[in-house]
Chains A and B, each alone.
Chain A
């Protein structure tokens, strides 16, 4: 249901790599939401002003941007609006939008900015028909796209599980509406098991959402470590070419160098960084700053250390000062030059020698990670709207579980299930109350 009270967000420039990309936010909370995602206070900013700063997702910097403020009614839509000009990468655009959604914006429907512009009298009536056509054709196209996307096995599974959930909803409603009669009751443990199954499928779909972006953009991989741990050597070994500067003098790699390397069809976007250490050299400090910044954008961290001069407790304290990244591989370099016991080191440690190009343990670990993103012929969800629906489905289902655990009465549990069905319906198709009632009448003997 289109709700004109919501604040909406969407990219305003076409997808793809370009110098700049603009994300538009519009609605009564546009400025407040942008303010929450921005590292400067713009809550009191005037219309027609531009602000330099960073989009931040919690502590993580997403991008360096320019933010333009428009005050109602002096904007495209006639509402308070913010336009965020960031770097033109699909990945960054996605992250900016995710950050906005997390802070209360909703993904705009097709044509919704234009529709709001019309409703707020920013357009004349003659344009109405054109706008309407655009909305319907866009939604048709997006529906088609969605259908194509959803042909994967996951969504079929979700549709099946959703049907099972409808049957459970029917059982619960049966208890509610026919509690006086001789009816069977919903089996709570079975319901819980079903919800766990649904949550697992949703989780897979959400992973595939991340994977969809990975397929397009590659996995941002940061190789980090202290100076002289051998990062450039490792990079060269992986790339098998002399792209990075290799030297015995600490701190010679000052720029981050991007290189792409493919394993099992999955791209790893390797970002080599300057060595991490305290330095008084200004240029080197810039490099260190960039290294930390790159690391915050990373989806995979390859952390390299010299096993000869690092103890397990040194390693632990080094890792503590780094940002938390979901996937981390610890690489013990120069393992050929010392005796070590693998048991002394964390499970995610591999032992290599970059100089001898003996890096196969690392490569197999990278292959293992790549295999997470393999989906064969199944397509993946790469539409932020679907990701949003998946997140909300998951949230609603969690609430059902919570209710079952705390012994919430069946009418309230039914409400949470209803909400889950609605959210799942956004992924697989429509849901109406009639579906639940039909399920009741078909399956149960009720009525006096």
Chain B
């Protein structure tokens, strides 16, 4: 018997397996195919805006997505550097095969993780508590807890034009049985849709006439552990569709499963297929296409921005009308896939189902989209399954702690009707939730939990102390006009008439810490701090007004979250609540008043009423 069974070995399943095993749980990872562990089903890239922040958070909490991304990296770019630090977002292109192999290697190195290739078709439940799973090969596996990370596999249907086939991903079988069983137990399921573009033979692309997008001069790591620095990078390329392409695609709309009614599931508005873009934004004469390499040892190329489920011959014709693709050959066509998900409002904040004890859901099964969104849910479900079976407190991140907190809080309180992707604008406390401080924000919690080592913790604490010390120094030390003015003039800001405190100089928008290091009298003592430490101090000084404001707002939120609501409370008995609030509160059953306040339909007056009842 295992402590924990994880059904599915994608980004969510792998993170769950790793973290629970790290905490000491005996884990069984059930996958339908050992060859496809941690397979990147969509584009060969990790991170990006808001998503890069999530990977940094996963890494700080002891997850592996950051390390695996670093090892398989083909290109690194820090996005959005022209904006403020809250927007800086790391993104990488990855070798699809290396990514998968590295994950498998790291999991196999953990002797708490067992693997089995099989397909689960039934969850075993014993008087309201999960007790194991049954598989299509007739095996029964028992465990104290089960995490479902089914991705796009449950009742998956693949669409290419009018052709339909069952499958969980092109080339892989779908899985059956679990949805029907859980629905019979009262769970509410829905259908979602996502899509992927064609993969093209790179030897047939005319890169010479495409716009090149190279990696950063100084590539960084996702992981705070900095396991590896890549020495060479592979460029991406940019091209555009045109009206001829649009016409070709438009002529075939009646064959599109999106428009002829074949697809029932809801697709994401922000990751639309090319036919969707043409249909909804008819005035646009072109759409951007990113040409992304799939690996060091293959010519296969991912055509990002050209997701489609039109017939293969139409894909072929339209593709060849794009600049640089005149001779293009398709390796694998683009397709759409429909799959089952469960409305995430049926979950508690720890990702455990409200209906069945110790049964957890993570990833696309909860209506999300994206590797990073899935991975962080897997991580949190893995931690919380371990906590549950060891009678420990759930591990909940607040909206003010991490993007992960925002994501889970949104899912369980607001639910979602389209695939949920993270955006920075979903976070109220964006200025605090930066990629640069994920370690400072989360490693103390991770250390207390036991998911990072003493050594990792000590390194973070040293950094934290250095930041404090340096912060005090720049607020105390001054610089003379003689030393500072040549540099200030060089970077286009006013000279100083007398000695100035260094923080005052640094708070000028034009002045970066790197410029200060050009001043010899400052460089002498400041250069002994690391770039990361100096950068932290710079951010804290430049944005101190905003940061302070956000921190005050967080304190208000935390006060409300400290007012717990009894789990057996009957909201319907509280007649002074509005009808809608009674309804929503009864369905979602918030665990505290802060959570209740974020449920749509619950007004500030309703919150006052709840405060009266639970405030003490």
> A residues near B, CB below 8 A?
1-5, 109-112, 115, 118-119, 121, 128-129, 131-133, 135-136, 139-140, 173, 175-182, 406-412, 414-415, 432-434, 436-437, 440-441, 445-448
Contact = CB atoms under 8 A, between A and B. Distances in A.
Main secondary structure of the interface of A (DSSP, over half): helix
Nearest to B423: A177
B611 A5 contact: no
A406 B509 contact: yes
B47 to A, nearest CB: 11
B541 to A, nearest CB: 14
B479 interface: no
Report the 4 A-B pairs with minimum CB-CB distance, sorted nearest first. Answer: A409-B84, A139-B605, A132-B576, A182-B288
Nearest to B43: A448
Contact of A447 (B272, B546, B607): B272
17 contacts: A4-B611, A132-B574, A132-B609, A140-B605, A173-B424, A177-B50, A179-B79, A179-B83, A182-B240, A409-B82, A411-B83, A412-B84, A437-B423, A437-B426, A441-B270, A448-B43, A448-B271
Contacts of B613: 128, 132
Given A2-B607, A415-B546, A447 B425 contact: no
B287 A447 contact: no
A411 B426 contact: no
A122 B425 CA distance: 42
Given A3-B559, A135-B612, A445 B271 contact: no
Given A135-B609, A139-B604, A441-B270, 18 more contacts: A1-B607, A4-B615, A5-B559, A110-B605, A112-B608, A118-B615, A119-B615, A131-B612, A176-B80, A176-B425, A177-B49, A180-B49, A180-B80, A181-B288, A182-B240, A411-B431, A432-B600, A448-B305
B220 interface: no
Contact of A415 (B268, B431, B604, B606): B431
B612 A118 contact: yes
Nearest to B289: A448
Interface residues of B, number: 61
B49 A135 contact: no
A445 B546 contact: no
B304 interface: yes
B199 interface: no
B316 interface: no
B58 interface: no
Nearest to A426: B604
Given A135-B612, A181-B288, A433 B556 contact: no
A145 B559 CA distance: 30
A1 B607 CA distance: 8
Nearest to A410: B83
B558 to A, nearest CB: 11
Nearest to B305: A448
Contacts of B615: 4, 115, 118-119
A446 B609 contact: no
B425 A179 contact: no
B199 to A, nearest CB: 15
A119 B611 contact: yes
Contact of A5 (B556, B576, B608, B609): B556
A447 B268 contact: yes
Main secondary structure of the interface of B (DSSP, over half): loop
A115 B272 contact: no
A299 to B, nearest CB: 34
Contacts of A1: 556, 560, 597, 604, 607
A128 B277 CA distance: 55
A411 B87 contact: yes
A367 B394 CA distance: 69
B192 to A, nearest CB: 15
Given A119-B612, A128-B613, A437-B426, A136 B559 contact: no
Nearest to B510: A407
Contacts of B82: 179, 409
Contact of B612 (A115, A181, A437, A440): A115
B284 interface: yes
Contacts of B574: 132
Contact of A176 (B49, B277, B307): B49
Contacts of A173: 423-425
Interface string B589-616: 0000000010010011111110111011
Given A5-B556, A415-B546, A448 B290 contact: yes
Contacts of A182: 240, 287-288
A4 B281 contact: no
B83 A445 contact: no
B430 A411 contact: yes
A262 to B, nearest CB: 40
Interface string B39-54: 0000100001110000
B49 A178 contact: yes
Given A136-B576, A445-B281, A445-B284, A176 B83 contact: yes
B86 interface: yes
A409 B271 contact: no
Interface string B252-290: 000000000000000011111000010011001001101
B425 to A, nearest CB: 4
A111 B605 CA distance: 10
Contacts of A410: 83-84, 87
Contacts of A4: 559, 611, 615
Contacts of B48: 180
A139 B616 CA distance: 22
Nearest to B422: A177
A180 B611 contact: no
Interface string B412-431: 00100000000111101011
Nearest to B555: A5
B336 to A, nearest CB: 15
B543 interface: yes
A173 B87 CA distance: 10
A414 B607 CA distance: 27
A182 B289 CA distance: 10
B97 interface: no
Contacts of A181: 288
Interface string B73-98: 00000011011101100010000000
A133 B425 contact: no
A121 B83 CA distance: 49
Most chain B CB within 10 A, of A415, A434, A446, is at A415
Contacts of A176: 49, 80, 83, 87, 424-425
Most chain A CB within 10 A, of B50, B600, B609, B616, is at B609
A445 B289 CA distance: 13
A124 to B, nearest CB: 12
Contacts of B233: none
Interface in B429-468: 430-431
B608 A447 contact: no
Contact of B578 (A3, A136, A445): A136
A4 B557 CA distance: 11
B37 interface: no
A149 to B, nearest CB: 18
B577 interface: yes
A95 to B, nearest CB: 27
A175 B49 CA distance: 11
Contacts of A132: 574, 576, 608-609, 612-613
Nearest to B616: A119
Contacts of A129: 576
A109 B603 CA distance: 13
Contacts of A407: 509
Contacts of B240: 182
Contacts of A139: 603-605, 608
A135 to B, nearest CB: 5
Contacts of A411: 83-84, 86-87, 424, 430-431
Contact of A179 (B49, B268, B281, B609): B49
Contacts of B543: 412
Nearest to B598: A432
A111 B83 contact: no
